[in-house]
């Protein structure tokens, strides 16, 4: 079966990670790269043996052989280029945040619908085997009714006020960069616990520390969902926290020690379930297989620590047959 032909829009660090993932993908291949300068595109192309190197984003989107675009420029540029990619008829995998605000996100979604292309925000954890198993465990009801969710994604980044984590103009701050992960996870867990897919909070309260550059350096929030489910969320770009997910129910708890990236040990991830104070299950999950609707591009992606592998595999599995979301 033919592989999905990818173009990378931007050549930053996360684009390098995605390109490395594609090297072992059985569903996608890296065909082209686009940068704001030809020199940058050529350097990236040399490193990853990319056949087509474009010295502008416009040229990448005009490439007729590119089927899907992985978009990872600075946050404030996501909306413009995601919409332009959709207008060019390319499937879009956009790094989070999808937009700088709700209005931008809605415009991107509308552009994808209007031009009938697949659109996905690149929450790689949603494609991990460990997340699939977490959802299964919740649906099995091993810990009873879910009451409290704890989720954090935070790190101690650099102190450069001009760096993307602290520069307000570049969309800096913890909430836009990694705070969206705990928020997304809480909606997933609450939704599954309530018998659906995702749930919207009834109420959210939060506070943050704003540093000298005006961005939220670290923040916490509490969300209240239907069914009496509460979520404690934490994020930051200037402080290390315990980046785990814990779910407390009426009969026990579930802990995911590495919820966002999977295990650093290839092929192995872990979930711990405790019922009545005793360890009930330890799971090890390390292979991702994308969904395969009838006629979809076949194949799977190997590897446990495979965030961008999983993203690429998912888009190949559902985008290749005209399925749109």
Q: What is 203-246 written as a DSSP string?
A: EEEEEEEE-TTSSEEEEEEEEEEGGGEEEEEEEESBS-----EE
Place of tokens 């390390």: 286
Structure tokens at 82: 């995601």
Place of tokens 């670290």: 218
Catalytic site includes residue 96? yes
The active-site residue out of 96, 168, 205, 253 is: 96
Q: Are strands 146-154 and 229-236 parallel, antiparallel or unpaired?
A: parallel
Structure tokens at 166: 């602290």
Which whole-number Å values give the CA distances from 182 to 81, 119, 175, 189, 232, in the listed order? Answer: 26, 21, 10, 10, 9
3-class SS of residue 133:
helix
70 backbone dihedrals φ, ψ, rounded to 5°: -95, 120
Catalytic residues: 96
């Amino acid at each position: 079966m033919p592989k999905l032909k990818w173009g990378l829009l931007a050549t930053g660090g996360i684009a390098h990670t995605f390109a490395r993932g594609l090297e072992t993908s059985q569903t996608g291949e890296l065909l082209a790269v686009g940068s704001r300068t030809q020199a940058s595109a050529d350097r990236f192309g040399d490193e990853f043996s990319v056949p087509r190197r474009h010295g502008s984003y416009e040229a990448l989107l005009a490439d007729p052989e590119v089927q899907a675009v992985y978009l990872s420029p600075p946050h404030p540029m996501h909306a413009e280029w995601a919409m332009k990619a959709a207008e060019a008829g390319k499937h879009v995998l956009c790094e989070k945040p999808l937009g700088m605000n709700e209005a931008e996100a809605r415009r991107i979604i509308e552009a994808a619908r209007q031009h009938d292309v697949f659109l996905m925000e690149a929450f790689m954890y949603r494609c991990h085997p460990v997340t699939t198993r977490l959802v299964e465990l919740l649906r099995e009801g091993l810990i009873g009714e879910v009451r409290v969710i704890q989720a954090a994604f935070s790190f101690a980044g650099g102190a450069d006020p001009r760096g993307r984590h602290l520069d307000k103009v570049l969309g800096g701050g913890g909430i836009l960069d990694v705070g969206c992960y705990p928020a997304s996870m809480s909606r997933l867990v609450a939704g599954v616990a309530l018998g659906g897919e995702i749930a919207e909070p009834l109420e959210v309260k939060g506070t943050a520390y704003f540093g000298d550059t005006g961005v939220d350096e670290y923040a916490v929030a509490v969300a209240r969902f239907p069914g009496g489910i509460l979520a404690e969320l934490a994020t930051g770009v200037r402080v290390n926290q315990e980046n785990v997910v814990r779910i407390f129910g009426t009969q026990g708890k579930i802990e995911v020690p590495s919820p966002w990236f999977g295990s650093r040990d290839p092929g192995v991830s872990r979930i711990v379930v405790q019922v009545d104070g005793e360890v009930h299950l330890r799971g090890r999950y390390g292979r991702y297989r994308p969904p395969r609707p009838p006629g979809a591009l076949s194949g799977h992606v190997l590897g446990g620590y495979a965030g961008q592998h999983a993203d690429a595999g998912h888009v190949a599995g559902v985008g290749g047959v005209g399925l749109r979301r």
